[in-house]
Structure 1
Amino acid sequence: MDTLARLKAGLLAGTTRLDLSCGLSEFPQEIFDLADSLEILNLSGNALSSLPDDLHRLTRMKVLFCSDNQFTELPACIGQCPQLSMVGFKANRIVSVPAAALPAKLRWLILTDNCIEQLPEALGEHFLMQKLMLSGNRLRQLPGSMAKLHNLELLRLSANQLEYLPAWLLQLESLAWLAYAGNPMGEAFDTPQDDTQVVEIPWAELTLAQQLGEGASGVIRQGLWRGTQPVAVKLYKGHMTSDGTPLNEMNACLAAGNHPNLIKVLGRIVDHPQGATGLVMELIDPAFKNLAGLPSLDTCSRDVYAAHTQPTPQAALRIARGIASVAAHLHARGIAHGDLYAHNILWREDGECLLGDFGAACFYPRDRSRAAELMERIEVNAFGILLGELLDICGIGGNVEDLDMLHAECTQPDMLDRPWFEDIHDQLNEYSLPE
């Protein structure tokens, strides 16, 4: 018996999470029978265009997903749900976002890949907001009230119609992960400051083998180049992700250049029979593993570390040095990674590490302007959060004064008092832990 049939038969009493993706065109009224327990409702992948006006009867609901449906307006009824804190309406046809549709406890709002041209001024009154994902819309400007979102940590604005970033945006003291590629902001925001020589690799020179992984932007497979050289081949899917477009990601990967803590890009694929875009990269030693998992519904903006992920203090320090070094390298080229998180870091037990996933990366002019200074300091905040997590998982957090102080300096609210990445790297290089 499928989930919908079980719901209609009254067999889901006490359920805290309900996932229904079965071509629904109307909201099943039987969902209200779960009001005493339901906390997560996932109605993604249906044909819904409205929700019932009395949705607030789901008094325990904290999370609502309605992605890949047919909504043209964010339903006002969700704003009356008393416990609702996470709302996801990705890939609909939404044009309008009424102020009434924003719940009082909203922390995480996903409106990626819609048709939104304007956001309500009331958005800035939702002071609990930590994550706001707006890529792939038609926004020309942002509400000035957003300057009051002092808890906002992650903001996705890629692939809109923004001609500039407002000054207040770069001064949000909690902001750590910002993406805005693919907006008409001028050439300095579309291309890196350094010319990069790109090797073109014909598709006919590649032989593909087993799949190594798949993400939102593409599929990675093992392969051979010219029949002898082992490589990893990433083919991009060509559609919008939560961070931006695959084309922006590919351009940033190419512009990043070479660094010991980056996965080396060997070239760009040309002459693919279906016109697909892709990169050929160095094949990574399988001893490298992801440092952490993605944030969960509960942690919101913080990564989830597996219980067995316990680097030694020496390894944790080496990871911190490596990431500070590669971040300094990127910012010297006018590139903000935009997603400097442990889940985008591969590591070995000796502390060797590689920073990946450029899906949120952006270019900015290195013109000594205040905006340029703030761009780097936003990413320094992300690094500070990562450093604090590293200190905690290796067991020395709160016990090593110099490193605890560096963590505090990187995350302090006075943004221009945060150190530069080059200074962070120098400080970490000067520090050593006893064996």
Structure 2
Amino acid sequence: MDRTETLAALRRGDLAGMGELRLPDGLSEFPREIFGLADTLEVLDLGRGSLTDLPDDLGRLSRLRVLFCSGNPFERLPPVLGACPTLSQLGFRGCGIREVPADALPRDLRWLTLTDNRIETLPDALGARPRLQKLMLSGNRIARLPEGLAGADNLELIRLSCNRLDALPPWLARLPRLAWISYAGNPAEPATEPTVSTSVPWSALEVGDLLGEGASGRVHRAVWHAPSSMQAVALKLFKGAMTSDGLPEREMEACLAAGTHPALTGALGRLADHPDGAQGLLLRLLPAQWRVLAGPPSLASCSRDVYDPALRLSLDKALRIARAVAEAVAHLHGRGLIHGDVYAHNTLWDAETGAAVLSDFGAASALPRGAVGAALARVEVRAVGILLGEVLDCCDAAPDALRALATACLQPDPAQRPDIEDVIAEIGRAAE
């Protein structure tokens, strides 16, 4: 049933007992028939339309956990959301929101997406939501994070790119569970030298099949007809819009600045002269049998990847994957970058050998020098530790030393976590 048919079925009363409802774009008012599902509805997507508010009795949806209202022109986050007893995930992306009242934050808030709005300030009450795990704030006008957020002990992922932050508060890198962070495109991000790169004209490319698609762009197989050679490559064409991680321009800059490493996909050049003005990067083409290690987080898992339950790894392959990711992260830190999105869904691997590479620089940011940069690097050590623990969970047996290493990377006090080089060394010892 497509979304248009869903709306018609709702109005006929055919959807009794429905737990998930995704309505078509173009709504101008909240369909009151939704309240007929009050006892069962858990996920509601209102589509992109012209809604400016939500009904005062929205709390009647007593089982509602997830609400998507992205693309509707809300001036403020509706305060009625705070009255919804089970609401834990909110998606209000690209709405033009200027105000986030404390009353609009549900008690059980776990995942809040406010990407691409006009927000300048956030309430301290945000840090008083003990389940808050994932916070998406890229593309706003935020100049200062609320001090109350320093108490968000369960926060694991935060996206701050393309705001107006002059500095990152010291407490941010000390949050005990924070593992994934992006802040590119803020005054707080150190300036980086422009990277010299090969310019590849569109006319030199023979573009083939679509290999994959993400928030920031599409990746195609392509053949690059260079002046003296011909090379099979991957071509990433960027969509040009703000993503939850930030702007595609910053992703390209970071990918080029990362240079080459065996455990990175690696940029070969920047696209020039696309007929529609699209931006793009040429990347190393991996063999056809390589696949992503896991799927991205789901509504239920929130900030954790979703693995195929049937995936089993030998210890040798698990160690090859973990070591490759750790070495890629160490290389990036050495180049003054934080990846920001070290996940299995950004890890491509060969099931035959266990060889792996880290991909996707959409959340990458430049590391400050000194103690601030070192603290942010230890945030990313936690992400490496999470991935290490996940691949060990896919093994029939794992040495106690490796379990201890994964646990050490997850220390609540970031200062107590091992350096990334120590992580690599310990994995290497286990592989001997």
Please state which band the TM-score falls in when normalised by the shorter chain: over 0.9
Q: Distance in 2 between matches of 1:123 and 1:156?
A: 15
Q: Which moved more, 1:37-46 or 1:195-204?
A: 195-204
Which among 43, 48, 55 is matched to residue 45 of structure 1?
A: 48
Q: Distance in 2 between matches of 1:432 and 1:233?
A: 35
Which among 264, 276, 279 is matched to residue 277 of structure 1?
A: 279
Q: Give CA deviations for 1:32-77 in whole Å, capped at 9, x if unaligned.
A: 0000100111112222111001100000001111111111110000
Q: Give CA deviations for 1:97-119 in whole Å, capped at 9, x if unaligned.
A: 11100000001000001111111
Q: Secondary structure at the match of 2:49?
A: coil
One-letter amino acid of the counterpart of residue 244, structure 2: S
Match of 1:90 in 2: 93
Q: Give CA deviations for 1:302-341 in whole Å, capped at 9, x if unaligned.
A: 1100123222111001111111111111001111000000
Q: Secondary structure at the match of 1:319?
A: helix
One-letter amino acid of the counterpart of residue 48, structure 1: L
Task: Tell me, yes or no, if the aligned pair for 1:373 and 1:416 is still in contact at 8 Å.
Answer: no
Q: Describe how 1:73-222 pairs up with structure 2 within 5 A.
A: 73-185=76-188, 189-191=190-192, 196-222=195-221
Match of 2:339 in 1: 337
Q: Secondary structure at the match of 2:431?
A: coil
Q: Distance in 1 between matches of 2:426 and 2:46?
A: 49
Task: Tell me, yes or no, if the aligned pair for 1:137 and 1:160 is still in contact at 8 Å.
Answer: yes
Q: Distance in 2 between matches of 1:125 and 1:172?
A: 14
**TM-score, structure 2 normalization:** 0.96
One-letter amino acid of the counterpart of residue 261, structure 2: H
Q: Distance in 1 between matches of 2:186 and 2:73?
A: 26
Work out the number of aligned pairs and report it. 425
Match of 1:384 in 2: 385
Q: Secondary structure at the match of 1:2?
A: helix
Task: Tell me, yes or no, if the aligned pair for 1:13 and 1:33 is still in contact at 8 Å.
Answer: yes
Task: Tell me, yes or no, if the aligned pair for 1:202 and 1:270 is still in contact at 8 Å.
Answer: yes
Match of 1:24 in 2: 27
**TM-score, structure 1 normalization:** 0.95
Q: Distance in 2 between matches of 1:2 and 1:276?
A: 35
Q: Distance in 2 between matches of 1:138 and 1:222?
A: 37
Q: Distance in 2 between matches of 1:348 and 1:213?
A: 17
1:132 is displaced (CA, Å) by: 0.3
Q: Which moved more, 1:174-183 or 1:370-379?
A: 370-379
Match of 1:259 in 2: 261
Q: Secondary structure at the match of 2:94?
A: coil
Task: Find runs of 4+ consecutive structure 1 residues off by over 3 angstroms.
Answer: none
Q: Give CA deviations for 1:338-370 in whole Å, capped at 9, x if unaligned.
A: 0000000001121100100110000013x3x22
1:273 is displaced (CA, Å) by: 2.8
* RMSD over aligned Cα atoms: 1.3
Q: Which moved more, 1:148-157 or 1:16-25?
A: 16-25
One-letter amino acid of the counterpart of residue 408, structure 2: E
1:271 is displaced (CA, Å) by: 2.4
Task: Tell me, yes or no, if the aligned pair for 2:27 and 2:47 is still in contact at 8 Å.
Answer: no
One-letter amino acid of the counterpart of residue 115, structure 1: R
Match of 2:247 in 1: 245
One-letter amino acid of the counterpart of residue 422, structure 2: D
One-letter amino acid of the counterpart of residue 311, structure 2: T
Match of 1:325 in 2: 327
Q: Which moved more, 1:109-118 or 1:422-431?
A: 422-431
Task: Tell me, yes or no, if the aligned pair for 2:91 and 2:112 is still in contact at 8 Å.
Answer: yes
Match of 1:373 in 2: 374
Q: Distance in 2 between matches of 1:301 and 1:264?
A: 26
Quick check: 1:351 aligned with 2:354? Answer: yes
Quick check: 1:417 aligned with 2:413? Answer: no
Q: Give CA deviations for 1:177-225 in whole Å, capped at 9, x if unaligned.
A: 0000011226xx2426xx7431111222112122211111111111111
One-letter amino acid of the counterpart of residue 347, structure 1: W
1:372 is displaced (CA, Å) by: 1.5
Match of 2:315 in 1: 313
Q: Secondary structure at the match of 2:30?
A: coil
One-letter amino acid of the counterpart of residue 87, structure 1: L
One-letter amino acid of the counterpart of residue 421, structure 2: E
Report sequence identity in percent: 52
Task: Tell me, yes or no, if the aligned pair for 2:174 and 2:413 is still in contact at 8 Å.
Answer: no
Q: Distance in 1 between matches of 2:170 and 2:262?
A: 34
1:274 is displaced (CA, Å) by: 2.7
Match of 1:14 in 2: 17
Task: Tell me, yes or no, if the aligned pair for 1:211 and 1:220 is still in contact at 8 Å.
Answer: yes
One-letter amino acid of the counterpart of residue 402, structure 1: A
Q: Which moved more, 1:208-217 or 1:90-99?
A: 208-217
Task: Tell me, yes or no, if the aligned pair for 1:196 and 1:257 is still in contact at 8 Å.
Answer: no
One-letter amino acid of the counterpart of residue 73, structure 2: Q
